[in-house]
Amino acid sequence: MQRRPSGSSEDSADAPVKASRTRDHSRSKKPPSASHQSHDPGPPPSAARNRISNSQLNWQQSQGRDGTGEKDSVALAAKTSGDINTDDEKTPAWKLRARQFKPKSPWAISLCTLLTSMAGIALLISIVYSSANLQSDPKGCRMSWMSPSFVHFSDFDTEHTRFASKYSLYLYREQGIDNGPRVRGIPVLFIPGNAGSYKQVRSIASESARHFHETLSPNVAASNPGVKNLDFFTVDFNEDFTAFHGQTMLDQAEYVNEAIRYILSLYLDPQKSERDPNLPEPSSVIILGHSMGGIVARAAFVMPNFQAHSINTIVTIFTKI
């Protein structure tokens, strides 16, 4: 019979525990089977960090066996619920009512929105009133009717100007109002602009003729022999590009001076004029220039063939001076 060393009673008491721990440890170190490895790759590193230790698990279980853990959890839940109820009881009634959802009326509107709407309505009313009462022409809007006819002066040929084969001179007559090619009023010469047509004079010439015969002639005061209508002459430049060629502009200015001289001579010929012999003959013309036509009219003053005092007034339309 062998002797045991001192402290053998303690070792014998701890032997079963150590043996059981050794068996459990050996079981935990046993390598898993191939089938288990193929189906269970193992927990990820993050899961390993979150794993609860055996001592903590045993502690929770022991607490559960003793019943103290359940009591603590129940007490904690009761305390939490008691705090919540206490907070609700301490909250004022008006705050609780404010938390409740209150449906708004569809007709509710803020003061700012109301004032903005009223200002917009007032502005709209003022615009409509101004358009209806303040911006209307007393005569109203009406259609402009024209019955144009042009008298070509074929005798204004190379004897008068060297540009007779290139340019032409016309006299506008409103059909039904101006009868015959004879001149009887105040001469007005229309000069078209860049690539413009001589027929552009028809709108203002037609309105002038109708206004004189429908408004001024029936009037007793207008029957004064000194009140005459306007004779609109117009030059045809074959729609030349005056703005892109300086020599073309000079040629047109020279032709304008020759046309003015010829127009004034018409009023001296009794066969081509119906003027009152008691009145003086016109010695100048009024020039109406459109766009580049106004530049041509100004250039006529510096041409060598310019006749002094032959141009009384220059009226320009869309001319940059």
* For residue 312, pLDDT beyond 60: yes
Please state, in angstroms and rounded to a whole number, the distance separating the CA atoms of residues 239 and 254: 17
Domain around 185? 148-317
Write down the pLDDT at residue 36: 42
Domain count, the chain: 1
On whether residue 271 sits in a domain, the answer given is yes
SS3 content of the chain, % helix, strand, coil (to 5): 50, 10, 40
On whether residue 100 sits in a domain, the answer given is no
* For residue 277, pLDDT beyond 70: yes
Render 44-90 in DSSP notation, one character per residue: -HHHHHTPPPHHHHHHHHHHHHHTHHHHHHHHHHHHHHHHHHHHHHH
Q: Are strands 230-236 and 148-152 parallel, antiparallel or unpaired?
A: unpaired
Neighbour count for residue 89 (Cβ, 10 Å): 7
* For residue 74, pLDDT beyond 90: no
Write down the pLDDT at residue 141: 59
On whether residue 28 sits in a domain, the answer given is no
Write down the pLDDT at residue 222: 52
pTM score of the predicted model: 0.57
**Which one is catalytic: 168, 206, 291, 310?**
291
DSSP classification of residue 109: -
On whether residue 169 sits in a domain, the answer given is yes
On whether residue 257 sits in a domain, the answer given is yes
Task: Verify whether residue 197 is a known catalytic residue.
Answer: no
pLDDT band, residue 224 (cuts 50/70/90): low
pLDDT band, residue 287 (cuts 50/70/90): very high
Helical H segments across 188-245, by residue range: 202-211
Query: CATH number for the domain including 305?
Result: 3.40.50
Write down the pLDDT at residue 221: 54
* For residue 31, pLDDT beyond 80: no
On whether residue 95 sits in a domain, the answer given is no
* For residue 8, pLDDT beyond 70: no
Please state, in angstroms and rounded to a whole number, the distance separating the CA atoms of residues 235 and 189: 8
On whether residue 91 sits in a domain, the answer given is no
